[in-house]
C-alpha cells in the first residue's frame, strides 16, 4: 500500500479554494489481503468497492439519459442562452424567462 497526497480545488465564481487530502492506494493483491485481515478493514474495503460500482453504473445511466431524453432539453437551454446573448448584443436584452417564452413560440412556428 502507498499513501498518496492530493489537492481538491473548488471554484466559486472567480475564487478558488483548495484543501489537501491523503488516500491509500492498493498496488498489489498482498495490499488487499492485508487490508482484509481485520473486520474494520473488510468493511471499509467493501464500502469502497460498492460505492465505486454504484458510481460507475450511475454514470453510465446518466450519460444515456443526457444522450437521449435530455438532449432536446439541453439544446433548448443553449438556444435560450444564445438568444439572450444576441439580444443583449443588439441592445435589446431579454430576461431568461422572456427568452424561454420566445423559444417556446419559435418551436410552434411553421417554416
Domain that holds residue 51: 38-69
CA–CA dist 73, 77 (Å, integer): 6
CB distance 35 to 45 below 8 Å: yes
Contacts of 9 (CB under 8 A, 6+ apart): 16, 17, 18
Q: How many domains does the chain have?
A: 3
Q: 76 with 65, same domain?
A: no
Q: 44 with 63, same domain?
A: yes
Q: Taking 90 as the threshold, does the pLDDT of residue 111 lie above it?
A: no
pTM, to two decimals: 0.57
Q: 24 with 54, same domain?
A: no
Read off the pLDDT of residues 51-108 as tens digits, 9 standing for 90 and up.
Answer: 999 999 999 999 999 888 888 888 899 999 999 999 999 999 999 999 999 999 998 8
pLDDT recorded at residue 71: 85
Q: 12 with 26, same domain?
A: yes
pLDDT recorded at residue 55: 97
Q: 29 with 47, same domain?
A: no
Contacts of 4 (CB under 8 A, 6+ apart): 22, 23, 24, 25
DSSP 84-105: HHHHHHTT----HHHHHHHHHH
Amino acid at each position: 500500500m502507498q499513501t498518496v497526497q492530493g489537492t481538491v480545488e473548488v471554484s466559486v465564481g472567480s475564487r478558488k479554494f483548495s484543501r489537501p487530502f491523503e488516500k491509500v492506494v492498493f498496488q498489489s493483491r498482498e495490499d488487499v489481503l492485508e487490508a482484509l485481515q481485520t473486520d474494520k478493514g473488510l468493511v471499509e474495503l467493501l464500502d469502497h468497492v460498492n460505492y465505486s460500482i454504484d458510481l460507475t453504473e450511475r454514470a453510465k445511466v446518466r450519460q444515456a439519459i443526457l444522450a437521449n431524453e435530455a438532449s432536446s432539453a439541453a439544446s433548448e437551454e443553449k438556444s435560450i442562452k444564445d438568444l439572450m446573448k444576441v439580444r443583449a448584443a443588439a441592445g435589446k436584452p431579454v430576461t431568461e424567462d422572456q427568452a424561454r417564452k420566445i423559444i417556446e413560440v419559435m418551436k410552434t412556428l411553421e417554416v
